Structure 1
Amino acid sequence: MKKIGFLSFGHWAKHPAYQTRSASDTLLQSIDLAVAAEAIGLDGAYFRVHHFAAQLASPFPLLSAIGAKTSTIEIGTGVIDMRYENPLYMVEDAGAADLISQGRLQLGISRGSPEQVIDGWRYFGYEPAEGESDADMGRRKALEFLDKLRGIGFAQPNPNPMFPNPPGLLRLEPYSEGLRERIWWGAASNATAVWAAENGMYLQSSTLKFDESGKPFHIQQAEQIRLYKEAWKKAGHQREPRVSVSRSIFAIVNEQDHRYFGQEANRRDQIGMIEPGRNAIFGRSYAAEPDQLIKELAADEAIQEADTLLLTIPNTLGVDYNIHVLSSILEYVAPGLGWR
């Protein structure tokens, strides 16, 4: 059994082939998509966060709206760039969204990746401390976020407050019990996957990672996951770890599918660069008729290691077509792999 969710980048543009031509289209369709995905039995609705782009950037209003309109599906991000965040304000936003969804938030965070503008976090008012890189700053903010999610008081109360205070130091409100244990870290390297385990975060591994061995992507990712699980066990956490991987997977079951994704068949891993001087490996897409797709996915070691699979979707093609894409995986592919 495997949890299966979708991951939306939330693109929009004034393009004649797009069903999402504005931010409003994308936000409202994202809510509709999550509701429809829950109805067909999908386990998760996840959203990418990108700043300075025609994509989703402020996740908590969207997650709260989805939480209010659904009842069982997990809702989350993949991932929030912590370089841009105020950790304390984020604790309040996340707590509210989790309470609205009655404890279904699965929040993916990360130190960040290349963005649309140079050092975009500076425009948000943030600077690394002396001797600190922007990646260090992202990890530091993540640890502060995790600490404040524990709900332990840390702020000295005013002796003459507007409203009566409980005794002792004050915590941030609203506090959502258990949310601290549902934070995921988007790791692009083996070392940061181990760091995530040591700090009690679940692991999100996407369709790219730093090339650390020259091996095929799915093998490198599987090795990363195994290192994470070993580090989790060594850290002595009392709950089971969770791991998600993202994939672009399309079951070609009609002419429309073939028209959209037939060219994705037989794609291979690619080598690129997401950081100066450091190669990254990008995982292939999968597109084929169901029987062939089952054979190819059965050989993907990282998918086998993960308990959660996030299907990246073409959100620009509208809610109905994306539900068709997701339904096709659930109906024609998942049973053949023992996922359902």
Structure 2
Amino acid sequence: MKKLGFLSFGHWANSPQSQTRSASDVLLQSIDLAVESERIGLDGAYFRVHHFAQQLASPFPLLAAVGAKTKKIEIGTGVIDMRYENPFYMVEDAGSADLIAGGRLQLGVSRGSPEQVIDGWRHFGYDVKDGQTDQDLGREHVETFLKLLDGKGFAAPNPRPMFPNPPGLLRLEPHSEGLRDRIWWGAGSNATAEWAAKLGMNLQSSTLKFDESGEPFHVQQAKQIRAYREAWKAAGHTRTPRVSVSRSIFPITTQMDRMYFGSTGSDKFGYIDGPSRAVFGRSYAAEPDKLVEQLRYDEAIAEADTLLLTIPNQLGVAYNVHILETMVQQIAPALGWRSNAAAATTPELELATA
């Protein structure tokens, strides 16, 4: 495990039990949590995107604000639903946010998850063609987005422009060099992971995937990662891809921790979107030394280079910093992770295996 970050779904609710009563609370606390996470040495601050829900939706204003307030931490999404996105406008937004952050954006994109409304992407002005599915629509938008990120000119200049043009065809601006290599695909199956590899995207694998073998979640996820890497190699890409997995991990060090997360179950199998069965990964909750031993047996964590910790954002910034700081100080080092603070002097360690 080389990098450690958090993933926030950005929930809010007007409830006495919630520390995030409004969208404003979530947005401002997300910035504060990213700043605090950088301070304690975390590598990444990632945010989920959902539409028509009391959760984070439009990612680029938040990513730009976090980028302006921090200096080292990676800033990303997990994931942006591409069925809703105009790839042309998204290239401009992403380029601007990445330049503000100094090239630290790590954008996770995908077809998206089950929605709050019926065919919500239609309300954003998009529709499927004859014989096309909404999955096809999302992938079509991704392919256009990736092509535009290459920064090659494609638009014929006006012969009488308001401002002088550079020679040749024009590209979208601002262009952020290197962002194309920092696009991740959120894959729910082995096949989509292999498709992402062929297109040269990094891989994000979350806390659920389609059940393709009946095996435990972490075993199936590890096989997905290996299939992705084989497809990457076959595609002939020259750079080394990155792979992240998400986990719900809660160290128990106080009575409050025990009250919130004292009991956890095992993997669950069920249906979330259509007829395909999915497997949901277990949550981990235990004392730090027990967590270390449990996590050593997670095959997918061992395969990945980045671990994203899903956080209970409605419990507020201070409590989430408590969880993350315990991970940074008492658990992650035992699994081979090193903090940003030690990066200049400490040799990189490999993930320990059982």
Q: Which residue of 2 aligns with 1:243?
A: 243
- In the alignment, residue 151 of structure 1 is paired with which amino acid? G
Alignment of 1:113-124 (within 5 A): 113-124=113-124
Residues 35-114 of structure 1: pairs in structure 2 closer than 5 A: 35-114=35-114
Q: 2:195 maps to what in 1?
A: 195
Equivalent position amino acid for 2:301 in 1:
I
Q: Distance in 1 between matches of 2:195 and 2:305?
A: 20
Could you tell me which amino acid in structure 2 is paired with residue 198 of structure 1?
Answer: K
**Offset at 1:275?**
2.2
2:128 is aligned with 1:128: yes
CA distance in 1, matches of 2:137, 2:112: 10
For 1:257, the equivalent position in structure 2 comes to 257
| CA distance in 1: counterparts of 2:233 and 2:276, whole angstroms | 30
CA displacement at 1:37 relative to structure 2: 0.2
Name stretches of at least 5 consecutive residues in structure 1 with no aligned partner.
none
Task: List per-residue Cα deviations over 1:57-100 (Å, max 9, x = no partner).
Answer: 00000000000000000000000000000000000000000000
Amino acid at match of 2:16: P
Runs of 4+ in 1 over 6 A off after TM superposition: none
Task: Please state how far the C-alpha of 1:263 moved relative to its aligned partner.
Answer: 2.2
Report matched runs for 1:325-340 at 5 Å.
325-340=323-338
Whole-angstrom CA distance in 2 between matches of 1:138 and 1:282? 23
Provide the secondary structure at the position in 2 that maps to 1:65: helix
Instruction: Check if 1:268 corresponds to 2:257.
Output: no
Residue by residue over 1:277-325, the C-alpha shift from the partner in whole angstroms, topping out at 9 and shown as x without a partner, is: 1100000000000111111100000000000000000000110100000
Indicate the SS of the match to 1:45: strand
- Helix, strand or coil at the partner of 2:272: strand
Q: Residues 162-209 of structure 1, C-alpha deviation per residue, up to 9 Å, x if partnerless?
A: 111111110000000000000000000000000000000000000000
Structure 2 match to 1:184: 184
Query: Which deviates the most, 159-168 or 303-312?
Result: 159-168
State the Cα distance separating 1:101 from its structure 2 match: 0.2
1:311 maps onto 2:309 in alignment: yes
How far 1:131 moved relative to its partner? 1.1
CA offset at residue 234 of structure 1?
Answer: 1.2
> How far apart, CA to CA, are the structure 2 residues paired with 1:310 and 1:260?
20
Which secondary structure state, in structure 2, belongs to the residue aligned with residue 78 of structure 1?
A: strand
**Identity rate of aligned residues, in percent?**
72
For 2:296, give the aligned amino acid: A
Structure 2 CA distance for aligned equivalents of residues 275 and 45 of structure 1: 28
Distance 1:44 1:193 in 2: 22
Partner residue of 1:291 out of 289, 292, 317: 289
In 1, distance between residues paired with 2:327 and 2:219? 23
Pairwise CA RMSD of aligned residues?
0.7
Q: Name the structure 2 match of 1:215.
A: 215
Name the residue aligned to 1:278: 276
Letter in 2 for 1:215: E
For the residue of structure 1 that corresponds to 2:45, the secondary structure is: strand
CA–CA distance in structure 2, aligned partners of residues 218 and 23 of structure 1: 34
State the one-letter code of the partner of 2:34: A
AA aligned to 1:189 is S
Per the alignment, in what secondary structure is the counterpart of residue 41 of structure 1? coil
- What is the deviation of 1:238? 1.1
Q: Which amino acid aligns with 1:181?
A: D
Q: SS in structure 2 opposite 1:166?
A: coil
Distance in 2, matches of 1:178 and 1:186, equals 20
Cα distance in 2 between the residues matched to 1:327 and 1:150:
38
What residue in structure 2 maps to residue 6 of structure 1? 6
Tell me the CA shift for residue 274 of structure 1.
2.2
Secondary structure of the residue aligned to 1:275 is coil
Q: Deviations over 1:107-137 (max 9, x none)?
A: 0000122110010000001001221100001
Residue 2 of structure 1, CA deviation:
1.9
Q: Which amino acid aligns with 1:51?
A: H
Q: Which moved more, 1:41-50 or 1:268-277?
A: 268-277
